Amino acid sequence: MGAGTALNELPGTPRGNARQDLLLVADLVDHNSRVLDLGCGDGALLRLLADTRGVDARGLELSQRGVNDCVAKGLSVIQGDADTDLADYPDDAFDYVILSQTLQATRNPRTVLEQMLRIGRRAIVSFPNFAHWTIRLEIALRGRMPVNETMPFAWYETPNIHFCTISDFLLLVGRIDAKLERAIVLDRVGAPMRNGTPAWVWNIWGEQAVFMLRR
Amino acid sequence: MGLQAILNAHSREADAPTSLVVTFPTDQPLHMDAGGVLAPLTVAYQTYGTLDAARSNAILVCHALTGDQHLANIHPVTGKPGWWSAMVGPGKPIDTDRFFVICSNVVGGCLGTTGPASLNPATGRAYGLDLPMVTIRDMVRAQAMLVDHLGIDQLFCVAGGSMGGMQVLQWAALFPTRVFAAMPIATAARHSSQNIAFHEVGRQAIMADPEWRRGRYLDEGSRPEKGLSVARMAAHITYLSDQALHAKFGRKLQDRVAPTFSFDADFQIESYLRYQGRSFVERFDANSYLYMTRAMDYFDLAADYGGSLASAFKDSRTRFCVASFTSDWLFPTTASRALVHALNAGGASVSFVEIETDKGHDAFLLDLPELIATSRGFIDAAARARGLA
């Protein structure tokens, strides 16, 4: 997926150190499982999963450059589009299907999520919360679309066409009859918020969310 | 080279090749898809590198329509470097310091493996059109006999481009447990209507040449040079891209400042194609060209598995790396993508890269940095997984 790549390719984004959400996502994955990473970019998460958890890791990536980089590194990655190509995979092909920082760049987030839950026993989705208080302030006080570290593009050039809030996402989870199995919400300094925090609090104070879903 | 010299060079390579050779006796026949058997069957092949003690480091390379077993050595007829010297050799992605590399001339070929130019023991003359029709699967079965003969159970990798890629796919479908990794490049799981059409033009050119003599030209000391040359010219256009032709030749004139208003080769592209046609007939047998193009035409892997390509690779444990080229209109990216979809649907491990180049179909033969990097990454990772690091 384009957005994953775009984020990874931003100047100044550290490539050597795994992004924090990648570490969190990797932590949710069982050892020696089968994983498909949608929008795998330069393959940082795949590498992390293969190296630290013995995972059979596959990737799908929209940008040909990202794919070629991955394959040259020995990763099992194909060029493709999560919006259209997931239909080709059989049911239950993977233990986990991961969509890291890419949901907001898909054309049909709902369909993508449904497909993820069809081809994987678990779906792991991470995304920036568009209702974080800093964004609310930006819109309320400055009247401008936010541009910050997690949302680095101006409105006219962003690949992120479907931003959502944590509350929006949880509504969609209910609507497609998926079960929320794990939730990790990070505050502004990247610390996980306490389990049992009400969702409306997440929705104000949480900057990043990582959710694991099942059918 | 004069006609007689060509004939001599040819009959030498067809019947006494500058290669390793194994002849399977009549009690080990090759059963052909079209019916009938080839017995005895001779397979001419080259090897590079050393087979390890566990016999686990063998890579089989499958050659394309006009290729042969001389993949990484000086060619005995043309004196030119092997056709995949960019990919195979010491320190290359298919590293002959680490792997035992095998390449055999396909059944129906003309460089020593049994083909239409080989002597038919039943008649004492060249087979000509008495050779049963050859399929890609026949080629692969003959390779499997060679691999058995070499005492190798599982190939670490099977790799090839174009018609070679078809053989790679056939290997993976026919012998899934014998192929640890597969690299089908610039290929397709079936030959398209357009591709069959181009092949038919080539075959008609050969058969329209009076020197073809209904396929018996070798008996009569003749050769359909004109027809084979035209077939090669037409095919060669399909191996290149419009951009590449434009960049290389444009409308430039050949050794003249103005058009001659004649049917001479005024344009450089004409002169180039005529040269390609002429040099091809020095090293290739016209009947082989008929047989091998036909084998490609008949190739439709899904058809052998109830119309479902995914079924051909169901539960495959082989690791695949599929590669295509942006300017290849003969085996376009869409064909590779269809293959990748089927492999995914079958649950196979697959990587897929489309490489940007203006070099057309022939790009798979060239020293393209992205192709080399992709192949190296894939093979090295597969070698680690196979414990060959």
d(CA A154, CA A131): 18
B177 and B107, same structural domain?
A: yes
Distances (CA, A) of A120 to A60, A91, A96, A117, A124: 14, 7, 5, 5, 10
B312 and B284, same structural domain?
A: no
Q: Which positions in chain A have a beta carbon within 8 angstroms of at least one beta carbon in chain B?
A: 56, 58, 64, 67-68, 70-80, 85, 88-90, 93
Residues in chain B: 389
Residues 23-42 of B with CB under 8 A from A: none
* Cα–Cα–Cα angle for A5, A9, A14, rounded to 5 degrees: 120
Give phi and psi for B244, each to the nearest 5.
-65, -40
pLDDT in tens, B362-380: 999 999 999 999 999 999 9
Residues B213-232 have a mean pLDDT of: 96
Identify whether B236 is a catalytic site residue.
no
Give phi and psi for B371, each to the nearest 5.
-65, -45
Q: What is the pLDDT of residue A28?
A: 95
**Band of residue B5 on the pLDDT scale cut at 50, 70, 90:** low
B332 and B207, same structural domain?
A: no
Q: What is the pLDDT of residue A3?
A: 39
Q: In angstroms, how far is the first alpha carbon of chain A from the final one?
A: 23
Of A9, A84, A86, the residue nearest A41 (C-alpha): A9
Which of A58, A68, A95, A97 to probe the B interface (max B CBs under 10 A)?
A68
| Identity of the amino acid at A144 | R
B348, pLDDT greater than 90: no
pLDDT in tens, B265-316: 999 999 999 999 999 999 999 999 999 999 999 999 999 999 999 999 988 9
pLDDT in tens, A38-84: 999 999 999 999 999 999 999 999 988 899 889 888 899 998 899 99
Of B364, B271, B277, the residue nearest B323 (C-alpha): B364
Q: Kindly list the residues from chain A whose CB atom is less than 8 angstroms away from the CB atom of residue B376.
A: 72
Last residue of a domain, one of B250, B267, B292: B292
B25 and B148, same structural domain?
A: yes
Residue from the list B345, B351, B384 with its beta carbon closest to the beta carbon of A90: B345
Question: Which of A156-165, B196-205, B342-351, B355-364 is predicted least confidently?
Answer: B342-351
Partnered with residue B267 across adjacent β-strands are B253
Q: What is the pLDDT of residue B128?
A: 96
* Radius of gyration of chain B from its Cα atoms, rounded to whole angstroms: 20
B257 and B363, same structural domain?
A: no
B96 and B13, same structural domain?
A: yes
Q: Kindly list the residues from chain B whose CB atom is less than 8 angstroms away from the CB atom of residue A78.
A: 322, 340, 344, 350-352
* Cα–Cα–Cα angle for A120, A79, A118, rounded to 5 degrees: 15
B244 and B381, same structural domain?
A: no
How far away is chain A from the Cα of B166, in angstroms, using its nearest Cα? Answer: 20
Residues B211-222 have a mean pLDDT of: 96
Q: What range defines the domain where residue B63 resides?
A: 3-191+301-385
* CATH number of residue A29's parent domain: 3.40.50.150
DSSP A201: H
B276 and B235, same structural domain?
A: yes
Token pair 């001779």 in the structure block, residue = B42
Q: Kindly list the residues from chain B whose CB atom is less than 8 angstroms away from the CB atom of residue A80.
A: 340, 352
B157, pLDDT greater than 80: yes
Q: What is the pLDDT of residue A65?
A: 85
Strands B179-185 and B58-62 turn out to be unpaired
Beta-carbon contacts of residue A14 (< 8 Å; ≥ 6 apart): none
Of B274, B233, B280, B270, the residue nearest B250 (C-alpha): B270
Q: Strand, helix or coil at A202?
A: helix
pLDDT in tens, B164-175: 999 999 999 999
Last residue of a domain, one of B292, B312, B328: B292
B331, pLDDT greater than 90: yes
In percent, the amount of chain B with pLDDT more than 70 equals: 97
* CATH number of residue B9's parent domain: 3.40.50.1820
B368 and B255, same structural domain?
A: no
Q: What is the pLDDT of residue A15?
A: 34
Of B286, B295, B284, the residue nearest B134 (C-alpha): B295
Residues B380-386 have a mean pLDDT of: 93
Q: In angstroms, how far is the first alpha carbon of chain B from the final one?
A: 47
How far away is chain A from the Cα of B184, in angstroms, using its nearest Cα? Answer: 14
Q: What range defines the domain where residue A118 resides?
A: 2-214
Q: How many folded domains does chain B comprise?
A: 2
Beta-carbon contacts of residue B265 (< 8 Å; ≥ 6 apart): B254, B271, B274
Q: What is the pLDDT of residue B9?
A: 61
B82, pLDDT greater than 60: yes
B68 and B214, same structural domain?
A: no
How far away is chain B from the Cα of A161, in angstroms, using its nearest Cα? Answer: 27
**Band of residue B11 on the pLDDT scale cut at 50, 70, 90:** low
Beta-carbon contacts of residue B258 (< 8 Å; ≥ 6 apart): none
**Band of residue B388 on the pLDDT scale cut at 50, 70, 90:** very high
B7, pLDDT greater than 70: no
Q: What is the pLDDT of residue B314?
A: 86
Angle between helices B225-239 and B268-281 (to 10 degrees): 120
Q: What is the pLDDT of residue A16?
A: 37
Give phi and psi for B330, each to the nearest 5.
-85, -45
Q: How many folded domains does chain A comprise?
A: 1
Last residue of a domain, one of B250, B265, B292: B292
Q: What is the pLDDT of residue B3?
A: 55
B183 and B163, same structural domain?
A: yes
Q: What is the pLDDT of residue B377?
A: 93
* CATH number of residue B245's parent domain: 1.10.1740.110
Residues B88-117 have a mean pLDDT of: 97
- Tell me the DSSP string of A94-133: EEEEEEES-GGG-S-HHHHHHHHHHHEEEEEEEEE-TT-H
- Tell me the average pLDDT of chain B: 94
Peptide linkage before B17 cis (omega within 30 of 0): no
A8, pLDDT greater than 50: no
A12, pLDDT greater than 50: no
